[in-house]
Structure 1
Amino acid sequence: MTLHSKTPIGLDGVVAAATALSHVDGERGELIIAGQRLGELARSASFEEVTTRLWSLAHGEEIDPDGVKTGLGVARERAFETLPRILAASDGLPVIAGSRAGVAALGPVDGLSDETAIIGAMPVIAAALARRVNGLAPVAPDRSLGHAADTLRMLRGEAPTEAEAKALDAYLVTVSDHGMNASTFAARVVASTNADLFMAATAGYCALTGPLHGGAPEPVLAMLDAIGSRDNIAGWIDAALARGERLMGFGHRIYRVRDPRADVLRTAVGLLGGRGVDLGFAAEVEAYARVALAKAKPDRPLDTNVEFYTAILLDALRIPRAAFTPIFATGRAAGWTAHAREQQRTGRLLRPASLYTGVAPG
């Protein structure tokens, strides 16, 4: 078999698994998570509630939401007890790589499901590593708080406001699942071998760190910093496009129109009263970039994606830029663990075919 122009590469359009967890409609700009459109879900459900719905679908049976919230609080406390070992394993590593080592070091916890242990540990690890960079001691979790509020508290060493906790909760809901994205597919591949969920979550995290997947929010802020002021928007963007550079926070592999997650996160930013990046300035950058991209690449839809307002939201919440990817993983772990369980319950070993392009032996 030889490679030719009509051969599908990258698994585009190939159905690798059946899932009841989420659906992405790129043509309509619609994201459905656990049977509900994202906009409605973010307004009506907490991260713990969305996680419960995903896990219930994955297991094929109803799970108690109160038990999930309580379990996550316990899991954060249990993870904190293991921090000395995790911090030792990640000594000398930057936050993103240290979080990878921390996730890889996780294992079963007595009295907790593996899913609960993983999601509970994620913010504990991220917060401790982010604080270590600044010479600060880790902050012990408070099981009485919601997952988002306690994440902010452990990161910053102080209790968040209600608006801050609500904004981060909306973010965690928004990124909790997104169809068969690269990190979720990686987690499902590993789970399909009947490896445990800790291995699957580690694979998911590794895939998330790539700049073509979850690694672009920090460069969005670098772009906004470089533009600097309203007077520089047009000149900076035009020059960047003339050099063939990518505008961070625009374009998506699936969405042909605006990413629905961008609007949810823009609303969440509005809860914070203009803190961090000037929202009016960011909106002007977004508006000009969309017009400029449409002119420069008329045959390639490049609209605002989730990373543009992710960067602005996390900056407004005073989350260190180095922790952006681990905080993304804190939310996406709900999807990873649900997809891993669903794959093991309803799927089979994932083993796609390949197209050989080497030399045929004589």
Structure 2
Amino acid sequence: MQGVTDSLTVRDNRTGAEYDVPINDGAIKAADIGKIKADENGPGLAVYDPGFVNTASCRSSVTYIDGEAGILEYRGYPIEQLAEDSTFLEVAYLLIHGDLPTREQYEAWVHEITYHTYVHENVKDFMHGFRYDAHPMGMLMASVGALSTFYPESRNIADEENRHIQIVRMIAKMPTLGAWSFRHAQGKPYIYPDNELSYTENFLSMLFKMSEHRYDADPRIAKALDVLFILHADHEQNCSTNAVRSVGSSQVDPYSAVASGIGALFGPLHGGANEAVLKMLRRIGSTDNIPAFIDGVKNGDERLMGFGHRVYKNYDPREDHQEGLRRRLRGDGRQPAAAGRPGAGEDRARGRVLRQAQALPQRRLLLRPDLRGARVPARDVHGPLRDRPHPRVAGPVVGAGPGQGAEDRPAQADLHR
């Protein structure tokens, strides 16, 4: 989308001087404001905007968000269609390359990801060195950063092929490192990747496999996890994305930059909100205690965590699919463990948390005026200048899953990569 250039006339009441400031795509450059000076030799005006509340840090055609209308699109595709008809690896390819893959591209992409899931044995030794109670996010941040020492060539960011292999390694090895961090916290042995399984099935295997020869993932849970990955694959210039871009601007290797993003994601006002929600639900303890908890939120004694992203004013387009995930979790294909048998306590705990979550309907709480303000945390939003791609599909993405040929796909818009 080409920006329409106009101008803004600014009068400096200190000097009486007037300035014409160009407007491009609904934005003005902070550097143009810096030209406004009280005296010729003094400093120019600075733009003060904590949290990038009204500042665009870049131009992007990757993700489009319209919070008022409840729209989320990846490269012009509605999130609803991608979540319904695509796989996470297909969506990852779309986000990186700008187009959905052809059959050959998809097969090559999956092959690359699958056969880079293993990490060096020294990484395993490194992770074993953490305390038994180390937080998994801290372990993940450290282990991702440590990959830069195993792939020193990753610092050559000017080489396109080199960048590609680092992207593949990052996507492939992240489930391995994440699962091992989780297992470490539980005191369980690390499980190696299984290249015969799909991306999400392999992740579930590394998380939950015990003594069985091969972990048999429930297909409903595997699909739910795949959809969850799609729903959270990208969300504009949020806190962690900005951290990666800021650190990456020094031209450091991508592993160090992504480690900084994981550190940002660790925070309770970003990705850590998920953990804060679970702690909040466990603290509530019972659905009978919810009214008292809501009263505590209203009078400022409690904070309501995890109920919506502030960018969506009316409707979060990811919500319907998240409800589908909740349905899958309520009936995950496993029989509840009998009392006194292994897993019984976990089943009961999971059911209790889910019941509490269902008793706190998001939309109703978010629309209550008595719960506005500081008692409902504002989630991070760092917006780019949005170059919205032309709409590509009028209906569902037909055959967007693996195997569709390029000639069958909808015409692609010319996108900034």
Instruction: Tell me, yes or no, if structure 1 residue 139 matches structure 2 residue 191.
Output: yes
Q: Aligned runs of 1:266-285 on 2, under 5 Å?
A: 266-274=323-331, 276-277=350-351, 279=354, 281-285=356-360
Distance 1:233 1:163 in 2: 31
Listed as ranges, the gaps of 5+ residues in structure 2 are 1-36, 38-42, 154-161, 210-214, 333-349, 380-415
Partner of 2:364: 290
Percentage identity across paired residues of the two chains: 30
Question: Would you say 1:86 and 2:135 are equivalent positions?
Answer: no
User: How many equivalent pairs are there?
Assistant: 304
State which drifts further: 198-207 or 232-241. 232-241
Equivalent position to 2:90, from 49, 59, 62: 49
**Which structure has the highest helix share of the two?**
1
TM-score normalised by the chain length of structure 1: 0.73
Instruction: Say if 2:180 and 2:190, in contact at 8 Å, map to a contact too.
Output: yes
Tell me, which stretches of 5 or more residues in structure 1 are unaligned?
306-345, 348-362
Aligned counterpart in structure 1 of residue 117 of structure 2, from 50, 57, 76 = 76
> Deviations 1:173-195 (Å, cap 9, x if unpaired)?
11110001111111122333332
For 1:49-72, what per-residue CA distance to the aligned partner results, in whole angstroms no more than 9, with x for missing partners? 0111112129xx999222221111
Is residue 190 of structure 1 aligned with residue 264 of structure 2?
A: no
Amino acid at match of 1:290: R
User: Which residue of 1 is the match for residue 316 of structure 2?
Assistant: 259
Q: Separation in 2 of the partners of 1:233 and 1:291?
A: 12
Shift of residue 116, structure 1, vs aligned partner: 1.0
Question: Per-residue deviation at 1:82?
Answer: 4.4
Aligned-partner Cα distance in 1 for 2:48–2:273: 29
Give the letter for the 2:290 counterpart: I
Higher gyration radius (CA): 2
Partner AA of 1:286 in structure 2: P
Deviates more, 1:166-175 or 1:15-24: 15-24
Name the CA distance, whole Å, in 2 between partners of 1:302 and 1:75: 41
What is the CA–CA distance in structure 2 between the aligned matches of 1:198 and 1:21, rounded to whole Å? 21
Shift of 1:227: 2.7
Q: From the superposition, tell whether residues 63 and 213 of structure 1 become closer, same or farther in structure 2 (CA, over 3 Å).
A: farther
Q: Which amino acid aligns with 2:106?
A: P
User: Residues 312-331 of structure 1 correspond to what in structure 2 (within 5 A)?
Assistant: none
1:26-48 CA distance string (max 9 Å, x none): 22222112321111111111111
Q: Does 1:151 align with 2:192?
A: no
Q: 8 Å contact 1:249–1:304 — kept in the other structure?
A: no
Aligned partner letter, 1:41 = L
1:174-253 pair list within 5 angstroms:
174-253=231-310
Q: Separation in 1 of the partners of 2:314 and 2:373?
A: 13
Cross-structure match for 2:341: none
**Letter of the 1:207 counterpart:** A
Are the counterparts in 2 of residues 290 and 303 from structure 1 also a CA contact under 8 Å? no
- Residues 304 and 194 from structure 1, CA distance in 2 versus in 1: closer, same or farther, beyond 3 angstroms? closer
Secondary structure of the corresponding residue to residue 124 of structure 2: helix
- Aligned equivalents of 1:300, 1:247: Cα separation in 2: 10
Equivalent AA in structure 2 for residue 120 of structure 1: A
Find the counterpart in structure 1 of residue 179 from structure 2: 127
Instruction: Normalising by structure 2, report the TM-score.
Output: 0.64
**Helix, strand or coil at the partner of 2:359:** helix
Higher deviation after alignment, 221-230 or 182-191: 221-230
Amino acid at match of 1:249: G
Look up the match of 1:29: 70
> How far apart are the structure 1 equivalents of 2:110 and 2:259?
23
Paired residue secondary structure (1:75): coil
Task: Report the aligned-residue RMSD.
Answer: 3.5
